[in-house]
Chains A and B, each alone.
Chain A
């Protein structure tokens, strides 16, 4: 028997311990999967609705007032720059004074928080549609928020994580490149990235500081 064989036997013996009954079954897995998918869709729908509201403000500003001069379709192109400017101003106003997301309100922290992800996609649109990385489901204080995504930055693939820690909870050291910023709600945001393996480049490594800075007023 080789050393590898002996080690394999030892590991198999260790894993042969009679396990306790599983704490999850097929129905629970499927229900959790569907719940996460529904939350994700709600977040996307919410973002789309917010965009429609902002766009609607801009369009409303560009429309003729009752009793005023009618704007024919032929005149629309002339009005378009003004409407676009108004819409842009409205969007800038929304962007300039965002309402901080703040601590989570669920009983347990959401490790794939749809609201945090929606904010992240605002400041780092390249991660829209990225696959969620696997996270655990054990219960942590609900004030925390997290997002972990399997991302690709050009040809550089890896894991991007964003952690929001509520006021009073300090951020610990991280492995790999990361950026930390104090948020508008008094909490802390930690943006980290790492490549596929040791020594490999981390995606968005040169944008972590800017991402944390952009997230800070929104969280």
Chain B
């Protein structure tokens, strides 16, 4: 890349690194892995920087790359996540204050299948609407709605009455 392109990439990296890390954290529930996924997404972005003509679409490109990285990693033979409706006692903390609420939600999200988790994170953290989420994930709006419903149901099944605010939406 030439100097101007490198400078533009660096500016984007510095502006977006923390946000991308936080999204990755909610997608995978672990800061160590979140940094791996975020770094991989930025490396991919750097490698394809010249091919991405529409700079306004950078955030969407990064979201899609990040989600794909997390979802695909969960399917790899060496790290295939397991999901269960049966949660061990004490596995999910109770929400008595803000810190506990954060941990409860992150713990609960770990129990939601990756694709549904991605839909929830894109909709409720990134603030995307149904159409935007569908575009980010490359699926239909109907799929986003059903994944949202299933994801929230899975989250509520794990958290029980801990978070009464959780309601299926969309």
A complexed with B: yes
Interface of A toward B, CB cutoff 8 Å: 2-4, 6-8, 10-17, 19-20, 22-24, 26, 28-30, 32-33, 36-37, 109, 131-138, 140, 144, 146, 148, 159, 161, 163, 165, 169, 171-175, 190, 196-200
Indicate if the CB atoms of B124 and A135 lie closer than 8 Å.
no
Q: For residue A40, which residue of chain B has the nearest CB? A: B47
Our count of residue pairs bridging A and B at CB distance below 8 angstroms stands at 160
Contact B139 A197 (CB under 8 A): yes
Task: Decide yes or no: A136 and B44 within 8 Å by CB, A3-B165, A172-B80 being known contacts.
Answer: no
Taking a contact as CB atoms under 8 Å apart, the answer to whether B72 and A161 are in contact is yes
Contact in complex: A198, B68 (CB < 8 Å): no
- Complex CA distance for A149 and B157, rounded to whole angstroms: 36
From the candidates B39, B80, B163, name the one contacting A23 in the complex (CB within 8 A): B39
Q: Are B25 and A15 in contact (CB under 8 A)?
A: yes
B59 close to chain A: CB less than 8 A: no
Q: Does B169 contact A (CB under 8 A)?
A: yes
* B1-44 interface code vs A (CB 8 A; 1 in, 0 out): 00000100110011001100111011000011101111111111
Q: Mark B153-167, 1 if CB is under 8 A from A, else 0.
A: 000000000010111
Please determine whether B47 and A132 come into contact, CB atoms closer than 8 angstroms.
yes
Find out whether the CB atom of B40 lies under 8 angstroms from the CB atom of A11.
Answer: no
A23 and B30 CA atoms in complex are apart in Å by: 13
Instruction: Name the CB-closest residue of A to B138.
Output: A196
Q: Which of A17, A138, A146, A161 contacts B36 (CB 8 A)?
A: A138
Residues of B near A3 (CB, < 8 A) are 165, 167, 169
Contacts of B21 in A (CB 8 A): 19, 22
Q: In the assembled complex, which residues on chain A have CB atoms less than 8 Å from the CB atom of B44?
A: 132-134
The residue from B13, B40, B125, B152 contacting A15, defined by CB atoms under 8 A apart:
B125
Instruction: Please state if B124 and A7 are interface contacts (CB–CB under 8 Å).
Output: yes
Decide: B72 and A7 in contact? CB cutoff 8 A.
no
Asked if A7 contacts B138 (CB within 8 A), the reply is: no
Distance A155 CA – B141 CA, assembled complex (angstroms) = 21
Q: Is there an interface contact between B139 and A134, defined as CB atoms closer than 8 Å?
A: no
Residue of A nearest to B101 (CB): A13
B35 contacts A14, C-beta separation under 8 Å: no
In the complex, A115→B75 CA distance in Å? Answer: 23
What residues on B are CB-neighbors of A137 within 8 Å? 36, 39-40, 43
In the bound complex, do residue B65 and residue A4 qualify as a contact, i.e. CB atoms below 8 Å apart?
no
Please tell me if the beta carbons of B106 and A14 are within 8 angstroms of each other in the complex.
yes
Can you list 17 contacts pairing A with B, beta carbon distance less than 8 Å?
A4-B170, A11-B105, A16-B102, A19-B18, A30-B9, A33-B43, A109-B78, A132-B47, A133-B65, A133-B68, A134-B44, A134-B65, A137-B36, A163-B76, A197-B138, A197-B143, A200-B138
Q: How many angstroms from the CA of A30 to the CA of B43 in the assembled complex? A: 7
A62 nearest CB across to chain B (Å): 41
Output the nearest chain A residue to B66 by Cβ-Cβ distance: A134
A196 to B, closest residue via Cβ: B138
Among B31, B120, B125, B170, the residue within 8 A (CB) of A19 is B31
Bound: A12/B102 CA distance, A: 9
Give Cα A37 to B50, complex, Å: 14
Which residues of A sit under 8 angstroms from B6, Cβ to Cβ? Answer: 30
- Complex: chain B residue closest to A8, CB-CB: B124
What is the minimal beta-carbon distance from B164 to any residue of chain A, in angstroms? 10
| A174–B75 CB distance below 8 A | yes
- Chain A: which residue is nearest B115 at the CB level? A198
B60 → chain A closest CB, angstroms: 14
Distance A10 CA – B100 CA, assembled complex (angstroms): 12
Taking the closest CB of chain A, its distance from the CB of B25, in whole angstroms, is: 7
Complex partner residue of B31 from A20, A28, A134, CB under 8 angstroms:
A20
Do A198 and B169 touch (CB < 8 A)?
Answer: no
